[in-house]
Chain A
Amino acid sequence: MSTLTAELAPKPSKPWAAAPLDRAKTAGIFFAAAAISYLVVLSTPMKGKLAYIAVFFIAYIVIDFVSTFIKLGRPGAVDAVFRAVVTMAVAIAVTPIVSILITVWLRGHKGLHIGLFTTDMRSTAYTDPISQGGLLHAIIGTFLLVFFAMIISVPIGILTAIYLTEIRGKFTRPISFLVQAMSGVPSIVAGLFIYAAILLPFTKKLNGIEGSLALAILMIPTVARMSEEVLRLIPGDLREAGVALGGTQWRSVAMVVVPAARSGLITAVILGIARVAGETAPLLLLTGGSGSKNFNMFKDSMGSLPNYIWQCFATGTPESITRAWAGILVLLVIVVVLFVAARTLGSRKVGKK
């Protein structure tokens, strides 16, 4: 009985999936295009990797179009070309990122050792071997600078977004426009602004908080714009429901709208952090660099990873350049860790058991 049912029961299948023949065809087109690009580059004056890639793309699309055209006619062929173009666009978009990651790893991992995270550069020169000295001061500095920039910019950014989406006053449009324009402000301009507005008239010295202020200026538009987009996605029904239950607008926003947008708002903050974590120009101008640990945001210049990387490259010896790549690797890892942490934090539902 059971064997009978087992025989009769159909196996789950996916008749729409690509058959081996289709895959062979795709592979065939791929290799044909590769061969053509090799031959074309060999027989014409074109040179270099770029020529291979360009000819390969064109050849692939042409072969794909013709072969599909024979089988399915024009609509099918256009569809195939569309798919090929989209795939290539993705490949082109992803290539530089992958390339950067690989390069940073290949050049940076040689400089990695545990001492990087336990020592600073107080008594080490950039030209000393990589085994001496470390990044601790720069990591601490970067964390402090970004943390204070976050404390300043996140409330301002999110409240701006709330103004733009919830209060919708007379100034919504100009402010929205201004925020968009501000996200294009070059970082050096933000740095010079703080330099002229705070450093020159008041403090007259480099310190951490001035760097954080400049970073906050860069962070606010990113946080505000992202938050605005996220808050706009919250259905108007929820706002009305909050108000219809006898809440004031403020309580309805704080209890219903913001919690509903929580994960999106966290993403907005993270994108803001990612925007400024690697900023160098304002820090060179306002915070300076230092080889020793500085925990005081309001006194003395402060080391940071971007500053360390810049100094190491500027020094230019093989040892210092190894240091720079190690610094880049650490900075990259910090940003990635922040991203992952924020995504997991943001996607977790509140109070879920």
Chain B
Amino acid sequence: MSIESGASQGDDMEVTAQAGSLSAITSGREVKEPGNRALGVGLEARGVHAWFGEKHVLSGVSLDFWPGTVTALIGPSGCGKSTFIRTLNRMHEFIPGAAMAGEVLLNGEDIYAPGIDVTKIRLKVGMVFQKPNPFPSMTIAENVLAGLKLAQLKTENKDDLLEECLERAGLWSEVKDRLNTHGGALSGGQQQRLCIARSLAVRPQVLLMDEPCSALDPGSTLRIEETISHLTSSVTIIIVTHNMQQAARVSDYTAFFLSDGGPGQMVEVGSTNEIFSRPKDKRTENYVTGRFG
């Protein structure tokens, strides 16, 4: 795929170095069993299963996310991608009847360990939703800083943080003159960037994005993708997308999920370049070349 090569070759040396070390991990991933020695950095999922009531929707997903990388999760609808990322910041348990198995390690610590403070986990692993959802009762500035209030965090200089987060989300120049107006007046793409800025304000280590562009027009999508590429220096990003060009444009690694009628599984993971140019699995090849899905 020609679209993709430009994106990954444009990365700086540091990321390339990390990419090298992660591809080593990636190649050994198939034999890795749940309970292996923790790497101790980044986010690691070990044999994650998920259920809704009796329905087994996700089976045995093991996947590591190295700090500062972008990983795209692709696959047809209903293959468990969204469910998987929701297990990564413990949002899965919000659905009545939900159950899970396996381990999710954040910096080597199991986020499902008993006695762990779940709100701290969600502070470190932020989330951007499919539909832009700024808080309707708050102004733009209040929206960005909402996380501080929700989590009762202190900050010395709110104005600096506000500007920094909006700047990183690529929204500052568009809203700096109307910070005290309501977020609802923004366009869909601006609202989504506002939601990204809101997630950044609590300084997450990982940002989960669940099809962040599926409700947006191509122009806004492009802006979000630019935002993502600016964020990678400081945040690990995991993005679910149905748009394969998007996965190719923004991600360093791609994981392909598929359900053959039963629970969803991860078929293959590798560097984005590999997945799109020489996938190992026939099903991945069929999917990325558009033969199904």
Q: Which residues of A contact B (CB under 8 A)?
A: 168, 235, 237-248, 251-252, 255-256, 259-260, 262, 349-353
With beta carbons under 8 angstroms apart, the residue of B89, B133, B139, B181 that contacts A235 is: B133
Q: How far is the CA of A47 from the CA of B68 in the complex (A)?
A: 87
Name B's A-contacting residues (CB within 8 A).
89, 91, 94, 96, 119-120, 122-123, 126-127, 129, 131, 133, 135-139, 142, 146-147, 149-153, 180-182, 195, 198-199, 202
Residue among A241, A350, A353 with the highest chain B CB neighbour number at 10 A = A241
B129 to chain A, nearest CB (A): 6
29 A-B residue contacts at CB 8 Å?
Answer: A237-B129, A238-B136, A240-B91, A241-B129, A242-B150, A244-B89, A244-B126, A244-B127, A244-B199, A245-B126, A245-B198, A246-B147, A246-B150, A247-B119, A247-B147, A251-B149, A255-B135, A255-B146, A255-B149, A256-B137, A256-B146, A259-B135, A262-B137, A349-B137, A349-B182, A350-B137, A351-B182, A353-B180, A353-B181
Taking CB atoms, residues of chain A closer than 8 Å to B119 are 246-248
Residues on the B chain within 8 Å of A349, using CB = 137, 182
Give every chain A residue within 8 A of B94 (Cβ-Cβ). 239-240, 243
**Which residue of the partner chain B has the closest CB to A351?**
B139
Whole-angstrom CA separation of A238 from B133 in the bound complex: 6
| B180 in contact with A351 (CB, 8 Å) | yes
Q: Which B residues touch A239, using CB under 8 A? A: 94
Known: A240-B94, A255-B149. A245 touches B202 (CB 8 A): yes
Minimum distance in angstroms from A169 CB to a CB of chain B: 11
Q: How far is the CB of B206 from chain A (nearest CB, A)?
A: 12
- Greatest chain A CB density within 10 A among B96, B146, B199 is at B146
| Inter-chain contact B96/A247, CB cutoff 8 Å | no
Residue numbers in A under 8 Å from B127 (CB-CB): 240-241, 244
CB distance from A336 to the nearest CB of B (A): 28
Chain B residues with CB under 8 A of A244: 89, 91, 122, 126-127, 129, 199
B129: A residues at CB distance < 8 A: 237, 240-241, 244
Question: B96 — which chain A residues lie within 8 A by C-beta?
Answer: 168
Chain A residues lying within 8 Å of B89, measured Cβ to Cβ, are 244
Residue of B nearest to A251 (CB): B150
> Nearest Cβ in chain B — how far from A348, in angstroms?
12
The one of A168, A237, A252, A260 in contact with B137, judged by C-beta atoms closer than 8 angstroms, is: A260
Q: Note all chain A residues with C-beta closer than 8 A to B153.
A: 246
Which residues from chain B contact A168 at a C-beta distance below 8 Å?
96
Contact yes or no, B123 A246, CB < 8 A: yes
Which residues of chain A are within 8 angstroms of B147 by Cβ–Cβ distance?
Answer: 245-247
Is the CB–CB distance between A255 and B150 below 8 Å?
yes
In the complex, the answer to whether B146 meets A251 with C-beta atoms within 8 Å is no
Q: Which of A243, A246, A255, A353 contacts B202 (CB 8 A)?
A: A246
Docked pose: A54 CA to B133 CA in angstroms: 52
A240 to B91, CA, bound (A): 8
Q: Roughly how many angstroms separate A316 CA and B151 CA in the complex, as a whole number?
A: 65
Residues in B whose Cβ lies below 8 Å from that of A240: 91, 94, 127, 129
Which residues from B are CB-within-8-Å of A242? Answer: 135, 146, 150
- Known contacts A259-B136, A349-B182; 7 further A-B pairs (Cβ under 8 A): A244-B91, A244-B122, A244-B126, A246-B119, A251-B151, A259-B138, A353-B181
> What distance in Å separates the Cβ of B188 from its nearest Cβ neighbour in chain A?
14
- The 6 tightest CB contacts between A and B, nearest first, are A247-B150, A259-B137, A246-B123, A246-B151, A245-B147, A244-B127
Q: Is the CB of A243 within 8 A of B137?
A: no
Q: Is the CB of A245 within 8 A of B137?
A: no
A228 to B181, CA, bound (A): 29
Among B89, B146, B150, B195, the one with the most A-chain Cβ atoms within 10 Å of its Cβ is B150
The smallest C-beta distance from B152 to any residue of chain A, in angstroms, reads 7
A352 CB contacts on chain B under 8 angstroms: 182
Q: Which residues of the other chain, B, contact A243 by a CB distance below 8 angstroms?
A: 91, 94, 122
In the complex, the chain B residue whose C-beta lies closest to that of A259 is B137
B131 — which chain A residues lie within 8 A by C-beta? 237
Q: Which of B119, B120, B127, B181 counts the most A-chain CB atoms under 10 A from its CB?
A: B119
A251 to B152, Cβ gap below 8 A?
yes
**Within 8 Å CB of A245, what residues of B?**
122-123, 126, 146-147, 150-151, 198-199, 202
B25 to chain A minimum Cβ distance, whole angstroms, is: 27
| Complex: chain B residue closest to A258, CB-CB | B137
Report the minimal beta-carbon distance from B69 to chain A, rounded to whole angstroms. Answer: 21
| Residues in A neighbouring B142, C-beta threshold 8 A | 351
Q: How far is the CB of A304 from chain B (nearest CB, A)?
A: 36
CB distance from B177 to the nearest CB of A (A): 12
In Å, the complex CA distance between A239 and B122 comes to 14
Residues of chain B within 8 A (CB-CB) of A238 are: 133, 135-136
Smallest CB-CB separation from B151: which chain A residue? A246
Q: How far is the CB of A349 from chain B (nearest CB, A)?
A: 6
In whole Å, how far is A258's beta carbon from the nearest beta carbon of chain B?
Answer: 9
Collect the chain B residues with CB atoms within 8 Å of residue A237's CB.
Answer: 129, 131, 133
How many angstroms from the CA of A247 to the CA of B180 in the assembled complex?
A: 23
**Interface residue from B126, B138, B150 paired with A252 (Cβ < 8 Å):** B150
Q: Are A241 and B195 in contact (CB under 8 A)?
A: yes
CB distance from B52 to the nearest CB of A (A): 15
Q: How far is the CA of A241 from the CA of B196 in the complex (A)?
A: 11
- A123–B146 Cα distance when bound, in Å, is 60
Give A352 to B178 CA distance when docked, in angstroms: 11
Measured CB to CB, the closest approach of chain B to A219, in angstroms, equals 25
**B94, B96, B127, B133 — most chain A CB neighbours (10 Å):** B133
The CA-CA distance from A353 to B202 in the complex, in Å, is 27
CA distance A237 to B191 in the complex (A): 14
Q: How far is the CA of A255 from the CA of B147 in the complex (A)?
A: 10
